Amino acid sequence: MQTTDVGLPRLAAIAGFLGVVALLVVVAVRNDPPPRPAPATTPPPDYDVMEAPADAELFGQVLSVVDAAMHDGIWYLVDPAGNQVHRVDPAAPHALHTFGGRGQGPGEFPRPPNGIVVHGDSIVILDYQVVHVFGPGGQHYSDRPVRMSVGCSIWDALSLSGTLSFLIRCFNPAGITFHVLREEHDGSLTELASRPRAALGNATEGTVVMGRHPNGLLFGLPYDDCLELFGYDGASVGEECHGWIERLPWPEMTAEMKAEFEALEEAGRSYGIEMQLPDGLPPFLGVSVTSAGKLVYTAPSPHDDRASRLLTRSATGRQTVVPVRSAPIMIVDGDHVLLGWEELEGTRLLFMEIPEA
């Protein structure tokens, strides 16, 4: 297996040159948006961001990592290529425990799992319209459907105030929409927010994000100037703006990329779609919050868009790069970050705490 850019799985979809219909971005216009910072000149790192450092542990059983979460000091890694979940203790990385697996039986995944959330003491694995619930040791508790319309699937989830909130993507002939739905204790779903999308003839992944905030959850499009903020009761309470994040241009296309994009343009025209790329890369791909209440953004690296870096906002309102190594796999959970590099023999992983920035 070749090394893939799973640290930016949704960036490739946004770019459009890797087989998904290219993005037609409709950027919301706001009154008096915050000023955008001028592109900064960031010195290149003294290492190759696509190569694992010597202290990264090789896990031969881990074929891929698309999402991960930490619970009581243990990392749980979603491996869609292997159709399984890996339980890893950073203090004893060789004691790897795996559960799940492909199948139709209890605790098995009929399709590759695509996400994870810790809910109380349960490990909840996302599988399109189904959630698989496990205990911290990997013991299977239940498999249950989440009631939603045909054509919809779970894209992400957060555990807030004893309930689960799902980021849902729905595709139908009228277009693509994203919704934030809170699951009530009786299993019903309450919509907190939605975002319509243009009909592109195919799903454009990864342009909408949902993330934790000290006062609730954030939802919106990174290309906008702000994300909408919802309180723990589900009410809209304001917004969190990110105009301070440096905007990066698209990397120069290779001849192969140009040919692929031209083919996508031609395919789009057959559906009556005039496709175009945004002015640059998305300013960030995900947002999370530390135990101290600081927002941390996972963003494309300016030196290789296949890798990610961590950003936060300084006390003066400027972009600050968190001193964590850039990597193609970068998943943040609270004060911890998982870095990874896929190789032929497996995946190399590095477990770190986020330094104060």
Domains of the chain plus CATH, in order, are 9-353 (2.120.10.30)
Residue 72 CB neighbours (<10 A): 8
- Whole-angstrom Cα distance, residue 333 to residue 353? 10
pLDDT in tens, 20-32: 333 333 322 233 3
**List of long-range contacts for 225-229, beta carbons under 8 Å, 24+ apart:** 225/28, 225/30, 225/33, 225/34, 226/30, 227/287, 228/193
- For residue 43, the model assigns a pLDDT of 74
- For residue 17, the model assigns a pLDDT of 31
Write the single-letter amino acid at 34: P
- b/e 78-110 (16+ beta carbons within 10 angstroms → b): bbbbbbbbbbbebeeeeebebbbeeeeeebbbe
- For residue 357, the model assigns a pLDDT of 54
Instruction: Let me know: does 210 contact 194? Beta carbons within 8 Å.
Output: no
Beta pairing, strands 115-119 & 216-220: unpaired
Q: Which helix (H) or strand (E) holds 58?
A: strand 57-59
Instruction: Let me know: does 354 contact 339? Beta carbons within 8 Å.
Output: no
Order across the sheet with 84-88: list the strands.
Answer: 67-71, 74-79, 84-88, 97-100
- Whole-angstrom Cα distance, residue 26 to residue 24? 7
Q: Which residues contact 315 (CB under 8 A, 6 or more apart)?
A: none
What does the CA dihedral 314, 315, 316, 317 come to, rounded to 10 degrees? 50
Instruction: Let me know: does 296 contact 211? Beta carbons within 8 Å.
Output: no
DSSP letter string over 182-200?
EEPTTS-EEEEEEEE----
| Helix extents (H) in the chain | 9-15, 255-270
- For residue 41, the model assigns a pLDDT of 57
- For residue 134, the model assigns a pLDDT of 98
- Whole-angstrom Cα distance, residue 281 to residue 285? 10
The segments of the chain whose pLDDT lies below 50 read 1-39, 199, 201-205
Residue 196 CB neighbours (<10 A): 13
299, β-bridge pairs = 309
- Whole-angstrom Cα distance, residue 88 to residue 252? 38
